[in-house]
Amino acid sequence: MSRRKKFSGAQLRALRKESGYTQEELALRVGISRETVSAIENEKPETMSAIGVEVISKWWSVCRQKASEQTRESFFSTVMEYFGFNHS
């Protein structure tokens, strides 16, 4: 039984859009293809199961400065759940 919750492609898309990046711009900054960004955002099963923590970390690093406080808190909550931590 896995305790990990998968990352939401919709949440990652919203983070990218709120930060003002196109898929191509984000892909260049993260080091993946634009097609991979699209597959992640559309939650393609084969891509979602292969997505690494490194990609999520880079995605966050690129977008966090431009994200709202609410988005940052929501993303932090998702990360905590992903790694099985409870927070208050």
Q: What is the pLDDT along the chain (88 residues), one digit of tens a residue?
A: 344 456 789 989 999 999 999 999 999 999 999 999 999 999 998 888 888 888 988 999 999 999 999 988 988 888 888 777 765 5
Q: Which two tokens stand for residue 20?
A: 């003002």
Q: How far apart are CA 82 and CA 25, in angstroms?
A: 26
Q: What stretches of 1-88 show up as alpha helix (H) in DSSP?
A: 9-18, 23-30, 34-41, 45-50, 53-63, 69-82
Q: Which two tokens stand for residue 6?
A: 């998968």
Whether 26 and 58 have beta carbons less than 8 Å apart is answered as: no
Q: Residue 32 has what pLDDT?
A: 96
Whether 75 and 15 have beta carbons less than 8 Å apart is answered as: yes
Whether 11 and 51 have beta carbons less than 8 Å apart is answered as: no
Q: Give the chain's domains with CATH numbers.
A: 9-82 (1.10.260.40)
